[in-house]
Amino acid sequence: MSERTNAQPLVKTVDLKKLFKLKGGALLHAVDGVNLEIYPAETLGVVGESGCGKSTLGRTILKLIEPTDGKIYFEGEDITKYSVRQMRHKRRDMQIIFQDPYACLDARMSVVDIIAEYMFIHHVYKSRAETYNRAAQLMDQVGLARRYANAYPHELDGGRRQRIGIARALSLGPKMIVCDEPVSALDVSIQAQILNLLMDLQDELGLAYMFVTHDLSVVKHISNNIMVMYLGRCVELCSADELFANPLHPYTDALLAAIPKPDISLRGKEQKLIRGEVTSPINVKPGCRFASRCPFCTEKCTNTDPEFVEVTPGHFVSCFKVNNK
């Protein structure tokens, strides 16, 4: 991974924004100026609490939602303004795995038909038989027994359904997959299986992942880099090891402190928990988004946007407390 310095990022966003217009003209800043890079065969973990814009970021990068502002590059190509038609070709390279393994599969289609759907759309094979055969191979690849081929999704459990979703995402041979909380709807034991499967597939196929989650402990083991999001903004970005060893942003600090530790000596002691509520993402004013909950908040924090600065090589933070040092 360290030798990638000369490699071109597979996906790169520059100041990417997605604002939703609400009724009455208010603007909801779901994604508010995100810069990120995803390299081939690597995983970028994206963490942040519910509603901070993780899913919106993933969907915007795939252009399932039109970005409001900023740029998206795929393999150096600016795809920001691509039409639906132009994006069709890119769909082969960029895929998504959904959070809800129930809602993301059409209940009226059988398992093979779901897995084969994308291949039919893109006419990957000439005949139906070939397509179904490839679907069967994909089932093998994701560890789904072929006897389920003609079953319907509701007959399977969450883990198997998620495997269907993974097989479908793999069916066009993508280079990058946005995994939008692919395990958060699953039992803990099945979570591990699915995570292992995703890791194996990455090794085997050289996939790049953008792995969205609100669970830092999940993302730690599988990510090369981790990006911490807060209210549509990226507050900290660095390698996974660095983030856990040397968190710089107060929000990251609090997130790490919030991971439950099986340590009896900590019982009864006060934990560093974040107080207060997330400020509203609607019509946000300038200033650090985390200011209202930050123990180190100064006046400057409440009226100026902190810049996203590379503090040490590869470690970016947007916080005045850190940047001023």
Partner 1 sequence: MENTTNTAAAVDNSEFSFKRASQAKEIWRRFRKSKGALIGLILLLIIVGVLLFAPLFISYDAAIESDFANVLAKPSKEHIFGMDGYGHDIFARIIYGGRTSLTIALIATVTSCLFGSALGAIAGYFGGWVDSLIMRSLDIFMSVPDILFTMAVVVALGANAVNLIIALTLAYFSNYVRLVRSQVLTLSEQDYVEAARAGGSGNARIILKHIIPNAIGVIIVNVTLNVAKIIIYESTLSFLNLGMPPPQPEWGMMLSEAREFMRPAPHLLIFPAAAIVLCACSVNLVGDGLRDALDPHLKS
Ligand X SMILES: Nc1ncnc2c1ncn2[C@@H]1O[C@H](COP(=O)(O)OP(=O)(O)OP(=O)(O)O)[C@@H](O)[C@H]1O
Q: State the residues that interact with partner 1 by CB under 8 A.
A: 59, 62, 64, 84, 87-88, 91-93, 95-96, 98, 100, 103-108, 110, 112, 117-118, 121-122, 124-125, 129-130, 132-134, 136-137, 146, 149-150, 152, 154, 165, 168, 172-175, 204-207
The reply on whether position 11 binds ligand X by CB under 6 A is no
The reply on whether position 51 binds ligand X by CB under 6 A is yes
**Nearest CA-CA partner of 214 in 238, 187, 184, 254:** 184
CB-neighbour burial class of residue 199 (10 A; exposed 0-12, middle 13-18, buried 19+): middle
Give how far the C-alpha of residue 289 lies from the chain's centroid of Cα atoms, to the nearest Å.
Answer: 20
Q: How far is the CB of 45 from ligand X (least distance, A)?
A: 13
CA distances from residue 31 to 16, 164, 176, 211, 315 in whole angstroms, order as listed: 7, 29, 20, 16, 21
Q: Give which of ligand X, partner 1, Mg ion, none residue 93 binds (C-beta under 5 to 8 Å, depending on kind).
A: partner 1
For Mg ion, which is the closer residue by CB, 30 or 248?
30
Tokens standing for 113? 């038909």
Q: Work out the number of other CB atoms within 10 angstroms of the CB of residue 61.
A: 26
> Identity (one letter) of the amino acid at 80?
T
Q: How far is the CB of 213 from Mg ion (least distance, A)?
A: 9
Give how far the C-alpha of residue 128 lies from the chain's centroid of Cα atoms, to the nearest Å.
Answer: 33
The reply on whether position 33 binds ligand X by CB under 6 A is no
Only one of the segments 46-54, 112-120, 122-130, 266-274 lies at the binding site for ligand X (rule: CB under 6 A); that segment is 46-54
For ligand X, which is the closer residue by CB, 60 or 131?
60
Only one of the segments 47-55, 120-128, 130-138, 289-297 lies at the binding site for ligand X (rule: CB under 6 A); that segment is 47-55
Which residue in the set 153, 281, 287, 306 belongs to the binding site for ligand X (CB under 6 A)? 281
* 155 DSSP 8-state letter: G
The reply on whether position 28 binds ligand X by CB under 6 A is yes
For Mg ion, which is the closer residue by CB, 55 or 252?
55
State in Å, rounded, how far the first CA of the chain is from the last one: 30
Which residue in the set 50, 83, 265, 324 belongs to the binding site for ligand X (CB under 6 A)? 50
The reply on whether position 56 binds ligand X by CB under 6 A is yes
Q: Give which of partner 1, ligand X, Mg ion, none residue 50 binds (C-beta under 5 to 8 Å, depending on kind).
A: ligand X
In the chain, which residue ranges form alpha helices assigned H by DSSP? 54-61, 84-90, 111-121, 128-141, 158-170, 188-205, 216-222, 240-245, 250-257, 299-303, 320-323
Only one of the segments 49-57, 233-241, 287-295, 303-311 lies at the binding site for ligand X (rule: CB under 6 A); that segment is 49-57
CA dist., res. 228 & res. 217, Å (int): 13
Segment 210-249, which members bind ligand X (CB under 6 A)? 214
Element (H, E) at 174: none
Query: Residues interacting with Mg ion, by CB under 5 A?
Result: 55
Q: Under 8 Å CB-to-CB from 255, ≥6 apart: which residues?
A: 47, 216, 228
The reply on whether position 20 binds ligand X by CB under 6 A is yes
Number of shown-chain residues binding ligand X (CB under 6 A):
13
Question: Residues in the site for ligand X, rule: CB under 6 A?
Answer: 20, 28, 30, 48, 50-56, 214, 281
